[in-house]
Chains A and B, each alone.
Chain A
């Protein structure tokens, strides 16, 4: 049995500033355009292992739904950025630029329910955003 696909969404997810993470979830996130750039990077660099639309593959976990939240719930978006830029893709870690990695972070966040937001230019901005699954 090979794939870990078929994971279910836990519910709407949003990206919120860390300071507000425990309060009501305000609308914050990434732009659709930046996420679209990330989607293109994902197709080229990630899908071979993580599957189309990052639903998981034989050798890599899903980056969508329950499997994603099991690893990333409550963590700063910077942690996801850091993990990607320092270990991915598995066959060529270090080959993604900061811009590509921010876009990938945006794509993964929106794939998991993050709302509209502005383009993120600097990795440091990701320190203030928390990955939180909505209810």
Chain B
């Protein structure tokens, strides 16, 4: 029973009880007055689930906009007229005690009334200057409470802050005069970037970031960077409590996976996707990512721990509890780009407190979250070997035997579009320029006149990313939201000045097929068969796929498909799912997001029947979704709120509810 399990997951059980969450699967439920959304993944479980059902299949058709709120409070823009934030507005609110807390479009925390959207307070720039006001939006904040002392925790730019939850005031005794510098020594003196926000476990703030210098390590020409270590800070004082080395240093287990001197110069590998935590165990779950460089590893022989691994730490000490590497010696930028989701499963009659970790490859890895023991066997299978001089391909890669992947893996001729024979022939002509390859086929050395690369699926952006995943604790179902885009992997000797790497992503390819909104393909259509953006529902108690539905029309109205009466084919994007007692809410993402994803996307926002995948309601928002929709109840009313924005539309929050 979800409501009764909430206090166990919460750091503050007393508070949760006092708010009157009264949901029961047995006796008739009392009216729900208040239901919180305590972390931007719903809870530290990161299941993006709410047990609310005041909005349901029978009345969702009446859902309308209650109020909107600009992505940055007018009191701030009035003071700093040059503050013109990006329309990629990530700020996903949490709701606690009737107040929403969220990073705004420049990453300042805003607290506003959960029922009306009216401002309660706005974090003031640390100094009254444009320099301090400048910033980018982040995905979310976390909260810490001890007695009456309640604090909002946020990462903004180079700094970690805690704010008084009632007033937004800084704590002068936290860090240096109220903030902690997160800057670490990097080769290029790069700033700290952590857009996914912190997570607070017990009295420890866990901080992870994106960089490590030289960008994200996925496209440069240098092998040198700095490992983006994960750090723990005292929530009261800001003191650094521990540092976990994502690249094990000499004497630490795992160091042997970096032969020669690679450990002295390779970097990146940060947990840039959101983290999850088991508050009872005191463990934090870190989805770690690719090392430098993401596409060539001749200078880093070995498996390269803890790149592209799930690492579990005791948040109190920073000591590793267990880990699992999803991609050995990553050559594809196949990050764990998604938040881990903590789920209690019933497998063969046995209850297992599990963690589900999606990977960009489309694989879903499921473990006992306390021990790291796979719930279903994971097999090491032989994979193709690189022909790039000096490369050290791993002989095998891990493949879960269950559940099946949520997206296409690899490309064969059978995958090419066949909407019409003519389009199939065009697709074949394009595909012939490449070597159609299975998953984990390494990059080809590019030579002009030869094949353009190893064409596989997914591409380096991955099928699953930060937006994927919602888990239903009542039914044991997991919903993966992903996109199918193939990608060509090829490397060549870098031409740029200052290169220190033998091979890098081939920037010198000439006469490549034109790319449309779906990548390469005939007449701007995708190269491969649909669905493109889609939802995959799993029964995670059995590790089986239940159904797959396309999300959005995709290219069904393309002139070349006229008269074919195609069903929705799926729109490319990074929309975030929200799961309630009976519905799955999902937008189509936005063209404000990075990369091409969202270019084809619109502003349609849908409610699906979570049991069948059928669309039961849809509406048009003023712009596409740029962050996660969340839901809560206040004063007996269920409200949905979602950040939106597009290239043409400034960011804002849109709150939806039923008419009263």
Interface residues on A, range: 20 to 34
**A92-B157, A92-B158 are contacts. A1–B485 as well, Cβ < 8 Å?**
yes
A residues less than 8 Å from B220 (CB atoms): 48
Closest Cβ of chain B to A40, distance in Å, is 15
- Check if B215 sits within 8 Å of A48, measured CB to CB: yes
Contact assessment for A93 and B136 in the assembled complex, using a CB-CB cutoff below 8 Å? yes
Interface segment, one of A13-21, A29-37, A75-83, A108-116 = A75-83
Q: Which residue of B lies closest to A78 (CB)?
A: B82
> CA separation between A4 and B214, bound complex, in Å?
19
CB under 8 Å from chain A, chain B span 559-618: 594-596
- A91 near B130 with CB under 8 A, answer no
Among A49, A52, A79, A94, residue most surrounded by chain B Cβ atoms (within 10 Å): A94
Q: Is A70 an interface residue (CB 8 A)?
A: yes
- A1-B596, A82-B83, A92-B191 known; A59-B215 Cβ under 8 A: yes
Chain B residues with Cβ below 8 Å from A92 are 157-158, 190-191
The verdict on A85 contacting chain B, using a C-beta distance below 8 Å, is yes
A127 to B634, CA, bound (A): 45
Tell me the complex Cα distance, A92–B216, Å. 14
The answer, yes or no, to whether A22 is at the interface (CB within 8 Å) is no
Within the complex, which residue of B82, B83, B86, B211 is in contact with A91, where a contact is CB–CB below 8 Å? B211
* A87/B487 in contact, CB under 8 A: no
CB <8 Å contact, A91 and B191: yes
Q: Which residues does chain B contribute within 8 Å of A27, judged by CB atoms?
A: none
A70 to B647, CA, bound (A): 9
- The listed residue (B132, B487, B594) touching A60 by CB distance below 8 A is B594
Assuming the contacts A1-B485, A58-B219, asked whether A86 and B211 have C-beta atoms less than 8 A apart, the reply is: no
B472 contact set on A, CB distance < 8 A: none
A1-B520, A48-B215, A91-B211 as given contacts; A58 in contact with B133, CB under 8 Å? no
Chain A nearest CB, measured from B622 CB (Å): 18
A48 touches B214 (CB 8 A): yes
Instruction: Give every chain A residue within 8 A of B133 (Cβ-Cβ).
Output: 86, 94
Task: Closest B residue to A52 by CB, please name it.
Answer: B496
Nearest CB in chain A: distance from B126 CB, A: 11
Question: Please, which residues of chain B bring their CB within 8 A of the CB of A83?
Answer: 84, 86
Q: Please tell me if the beta carbons of A59 and B135 are within 8 angstroms of each other in the complex.
A: no
Query: Could you tell me which residues of chain A, from 28 to 86, have a CB within 8 Å of some CB in chain B?
Result: 48-49, 52, 57-60, 70-71, 79, 81-83, 85-86
CA distance in complex: A12, B232 (Å): 53
Nearest CB on B from A62, distance (A)? 12
Chain B hits for A71, CB < 8 A = 647
Number of interface residues of B (CB under 8 A): 44
* C-alpha spacing A63/B286, complex, angstroms: 35
Verify A93–B214 contact, CB threshold 8 A: no
Q: Does B85 contact A (CB under 8 A)?
A: yes
Bound-state Cα–Cα, A95 to B189, Å: 13
Nearest Cβ in chain B — how far from A92, in angstroms? Answer: 4
CB proximity of A27 to chain B, nearest CB, Å: 27
Contacts of B496 in A (CB 8 A): 52
Query: B75-93: contact bitstring with A at CB < 8 Å (1 yes, 0 no)?
Result: 0000011111110000000
Q: Could you tell me if A86 and B647 are in contact, using CB atoms closer than 8 angstroms?
A: no
Question: Can you name the residue of chain B whose Cβ is closest to the Cβ of A79?
Answer: B84
Interface string of B19-30 (1 = CB under 8 A from A): 000000000000
Q: Which residues of A contact B407 (CB under 8 A)?
A: none
**Per-residue contact bits, chain B 498-536, to A (CB 8 Å; 1 contact, 0 not):** 000000010000000001000110000000000000000
Complex Cα spacing A82 to B131, Å:
12
- On chain B, the residues within 8 Å of A59 by CB distance are 215-216, 594-595
Closest to A4 in B: B596
Contacts of A121 in B (CB 8 A): none
Q: Does B36 contact A (CB under 8 A)?
A: no
| Chain B CB within 8 A of A90 CB | yes
Question: Which residues of B (173-227) have their CB < 8 Å from a CB of A?
Answer: 190-193, 210-211, 214-216, 218-220
The docked-state distance in angstroms from the alpha carbon of A85 to that of B86 is 11
Q: What's the Cα separation between A11 and B648 when bound, in Å?
A: 22
Say how far B10's CB is from chain A's closest CB, in angstroms: 34
Residues of A near B595 (CB, < 8 A) are 2, 4, 58-59
Beta-carbon contact of B82 and A81 below 8 Å:
yes
A1 touches B487 (CB 8 A): yes
20 pairs from A and B in contact (CB 8 Å cutoff) = A1-B520, A2-B459, A2-B460, A2-B461, A59-B216, A59-B595, A60-B594, A85-B134, A86-B80, A86-B130, A87-B85, A87-B134, A90-B193, A91-B190, A91-B191, A92-B158, A93-B134, A94-B130, A94-B131, A94-B133
Top 9 A-B residue pairs of the complex, sorted by shortest distance between their CB atoms: A94-B134, A92-B191, A82-B84, A82-B82, A94-B131, A93-B134, A86-B134, A1-B519, A91-B193
Taking A1-B459, A87-B106, A92-B190 as known contacts, 4 extra A-B pairs with beta carbons closer than 8 A to each other, sorted by chain A number, are A86-B85, A87-B136, A91-B191, A93-B136
